[in-house]
Amino acid sequence: MANPKVMHGARGIVSVGQQVVGIISDINYNITDDTQDAYILGRTGPAEIGYVAQEPITGTISGWRVIDQGAYASLGLPLLKDLLTAPYTHITLMDRNDNKRVIGHIEQVRLLGHSGGLSARQFSTVTIPFKGIKFSDETATDNGENASALDLP
């Protein structure tokens, strides 16, 4: 029987930094490219729509709260006293069927805090929003640009 080609949640493994995160129920990310309309004299509509930039990658990681494994311990969320010196981290999405296949990799990530809650008869949840600079996947392993202002053309 052939291996299935559709990715689904049961096949996913999420790691933040070097730490595989255990009980994740949801991860979402959004990549938005900015465009600029080019208007020329004599035309009432745009002559061209050109790409000009890419917004930071934004998203959220959500899961169940595990005792003794809060956002600071399991995800490496920086403490208040370390905010100014905290290094970037990265988020990697891997295929459980092939631990070498990277489905998505977000570099230079900042975790933006966390929120959570408790409800009667429900698991406690935690949600961590994030921003990143560079995204790659199994078909595009390098987006061709370094994420540093020193390397601008």
Mean pLDDT in order along the chain per 10 residues (153 residues): 63 74 82 92 91 91 79 80 90 76 84 87 86 83 60 55
Percent of the chain with pLDDT over 90: 24
Quote the Cα angle for 91-19-127, to 5°.
Answer: 60
Q: What pLDDT was estimated at residue 146?
A: 56
Q: What pLDDT was estimated at residue 37?
A: 93
Which of 35, 30, 76 minimizes the C-alpha distance to 57?
30
Q: Is the dihedral of CA 63, 21, 58, 93 positive or negative?
A: negative
Please tell me the pTM assigned to this model.
0.78
- Catalogue all structural domains in the chain, each as residue range(s) with its CATH number: 9-143 (2.30.110)
Q: What pLDDT was estimated at residue 102?
A: 77
C-alpha–C-alpha distance, residues 24 and 14, integer Å = 8
Note the pLDDT tens digit of each residue in 12-22. Answer: 777 787 777 76
